Amino acid sequence: MVDMNNSINYKEGIPIVFDISVHLQKTSLLFNRLWDGVELIESSCNIYLECLKNYLLEGQFDEVPTIIVQKLFTYLSHTNQLEELEKCILNVKVECLDIEQSLNLSRVHALYDSLISIWTRALEDYLAPLQELIPKMVVSPNGEYIGNTMKLGNKILIYLSGCLLGIAYPNRGYIPQHLQDTVRNNIVQFLCSHHSIKANDDEDIYPYLRILLKFNTTEFLNVFSMAFSDSRFMSQQKQRICCILTSLIMNSKDLKSNQLGLVYAFIVRWQQEDGNFIKPDKRVFETITSMLISTEQTTPIEDREKAFIQLIRSGAFDNSPDLLKIAEEAKFYTVCREICSERGEFSQLFKYYILDDSNKYQIFSLISSKPEYFEQLSYDNLKVLLEIDTVRCGVIFGTFYPHLVYDVFNQIKTNYQRFLFLKGAIPYVNSDVKLCTRYLELLCQHEPNAVMDFVKMNDSLHLTEAMAATKTAGLDNVTAIFLERLGDFQGAFDLLFSKLKEAILQANAVEECTEVLVALAQRGSAVLDPKTTWLPILQCLLSLQSHDHLQKVLNNSDLNLATEMHLLLNSTTIVKGTVGHFRNLIMGLIDKCQYEQDVLKSFETLLHGDLHSKLAEAINVAKQGVSNPIICSSCNQKIVMEPMFVFRCGHGFHSDCLGLNTTCTYCISTNIQL
């Protein structure tokens, strides 16, 4: 099927062979005959290896001859497909790997997951990855992690957590049951080692713990917390780890104050969980606390606050009454809020949000969470809230305290701040005429382009005052809307018509002015005289010689052809010249005439069709026979050789019973009763 002498053939054929072989579960064909055919031809071999890679990544199979795996890994390394290389190492059975090659490639390309996987799956050695990788967590002279250290450190923490809990990493599943206790004990022993394998003479004790604590104190302690919560983790192991951590914080030179605080909080929390733990020295706690609150600390205040909060939650302060005072003096406002929240002191909570420059914007979220508690506080601290965010302040008052909006508005001194406040509040108090009118006046000054949209969506305005503001701002289109609402269509028309003439002179925005004016004339067609509206518009637009602009007017149903012809015949008073000057108007008249003719024809067709349908229905009904009734529907007596009337509904009557009626009285009476 695959001719290796034909490049096009094997490019198409090898993937097909792979697909069929995998589908039929005949992978032996791939690794014997097909491999033998492509191995010595580089181009075909590369296509083969690409196909193999894809099926390994998809998990279609995991057993591949070692010689082919070697070739695949070398190919992926040379083509720099490092992510695919690592996934293939993880997906192939360990028996198929060339251990030495796989380890070397993992080290050269920093493939940490595959390195861990080879050590644990192939050699069942769970310490070797840590011994090899932790020393690679290099810190630059300025204390920052360089290269892939962050990525490596996070993987080590996940791996440690898995080892302590019996979970396999990076492969899914669990560590073999018979190895779990051994692995856990070995990991604890490794972490608690006094020195590393290749220690220098000046190396500090417990180097592995120090490295991981410095890397990410919170997450490393979380690893221990999860392990401590596991019933399989022995109390003696917990005790030993906490004792070592205690000695570290007592003799640590390279841990920051916030890291020391987190470690101390961890020890105290687990000391309270298990009474057998040795309680840390109170002097250590005092030293750590003083370091955390010191203004000379270079550690970011956010990190120190987090450590302080952990100390509080661990119970290290023993409910000290001076705790809030200590936190406030250190400007730990996040800590202050934590304490006040626990105590339910909402006024103090409000205070510490305002004092905290980095988080003061969150004050609005606090108010929104419990608006009933903060109404008076919000009003009393109005100046501060306006300084933080005037628009958000308006939203808060408009949403939760609409009855205070006008009062607050009057307290604000500057026009721009008033504008911003109402900008936030108006969507929630848009039925208040005074506020909406004041906002419109400010909008005309600060955001005139937004006035039109506001007016269209809002009817709660004092029209006279609003119109005065828009006139001052030169917003003629908005002023015309107010005149229209007051019923002065002619005044609105005159204003917009003047604007159209000005636009024509300046050759600017003619189309927009025309559309606005035509729309007004249409809405006011019941009160406006066409001769004083439509004709002036046409006369004005004639000078443009624009068919499009004229068509907007001519298409209006309120303007009839006779009036247009009157304009055409008398147009010499406006424009002198030949018929060519009126070409656009004539074309517009012809187009409209044609359109009206088409509409008339369509209407006639529909009318004739409707009449024909009704006539056909009447004829069909007339052809239907009616049964001869034997009982009078009025007197319920038999009809015997007497004059009678029979209706198509089937009812019959004596002539005397029906009288002068020409319709079925039975049906009429029944319908009335129904």
Give CA–CA dist 569/571, Å, rounded. 6
Give the CATH number for residue 658: 3.30.40
The answer to whether residue 641 sits within a structural domain is yes
Q: Which of 199-208, 450-459, 605-614 has the lowest mean pLDDT?
A: 199-208
Environment class of 536 (CB within 10 Å of its CB; exposed 0-12, middle 13-18, buried 19+):
middle
The answer to whether residue 245 sits within a structural domain is no
Give CA–CA dist 373/367, Å, rounded. 8
Write the single-letter amino acid at 426. I
Per the structure, how many domains does the chain have? 1
User: Which of 40-49, 153-162, 659-668 is modeled with the greatest confidence?
Assistant: 153-162
Determine the average pLDDT of the residues in 205-233.
Answer: 88
Q: Report which secondary-structure segment, H or E, holds 646.
A: strand 644-646
Q: In Å, how far from its chain's centre is CA 320? A: 44
The answer to whether residue 643 sits within a structural domain is yes
Q: What is the pLDDT of residue 533?
A: 77
Give CA–CA dist 97/103, Å, rounded. 10
Q: Tokens standing for 315?
A: 């119970």
- pLDDT of 445 over the 80 cut: yes
The pLDDT tens digits of the residues spanning 492-532 come to 988 988 888 888 787 777 778 888 888 888 788 778 877 77
- For 139, phi then psi, to 5°, come to -110, 135
Angle CA(188)–CA(194)–CA(199) in degrees, nearest 5?
A: 120
- pLDDT of 592 over the 80 cut: no
The answer to whether residue 42 sits within a structural domain is no
Q: Which of 88-97, 148-157, 165-174, 583-592 has the lowest mean pLDDT?
A: 583-592
Band of the pLDDT at 143, cuts 50, 70, 90?
low
The answer to whether residue 657 sits within a structural domain is yes
Give CA–CA dist 559/632, Å, rounded. 61
Q: What is the pLDDT of residue 594?
A: 77
- pLDDT of 566 over the 70 cut: no
Domain containing 629: what range? 625-674
- pLDDT, mean over the chain: 84
Q: Tokens standing for 301?
A: 């205040």
Q: What is the pLDDT of residue 1?
A: 46
Determine the average pLDDT of the residues in 186-196.
Answer: 88
User: pTM here?
Assistant: 0.64
Would you say 469 and 440 are in contact if contact means Cβ atoms under 8 Å apart? yes
Q: What is the pLDDT of residue 573?
A: 45
Band of the pLDDT at 673, cuts 50, 70, 90?
very low
Write the single-letter amino acid at 347. S
- pLDDT of 587 over the 80 cut: no
Q: What is the pLDDT of residue 5?
A: 52
The pLDDT tens digits of the residues spanning 334-371 come to 999 999 988 888 889 999 999 998 899 999 999 999 99
The answer to whether residue 228 sits within a structural domain is no
The answer to whether residue 673 sits within a structural domain is yes
Angle CA(414)–CA(419)–CA(423) in degrees, nearest 5?
A: 150
Buried b (16+ CB within 10 A) or exposed e, 554-576: bebeebeeeebeebbeebeeeee
Query: What are the C-alpha distances in Å from 483 to residues 430, 463, 480?
Result: 21, 8, 5
- pLDDT of 572 over the 70 cut: no
Share of the chain above pLDDT 70, in %: 89
Q: Tokens standing for 188?
A: 């604890």
Band of the pLDDT at 60, cuts 50, 70, 90?
confident
Q: What is the pLDDT of residue 672?
A: 46
The pLDDT tens digits of the residues spanning 280-333 come to 677 888 888 888 888 777 888 888 989 888 888 888 887 778 889 989 888 999
The answer to whether residue 629 sits within a structural domain is yes
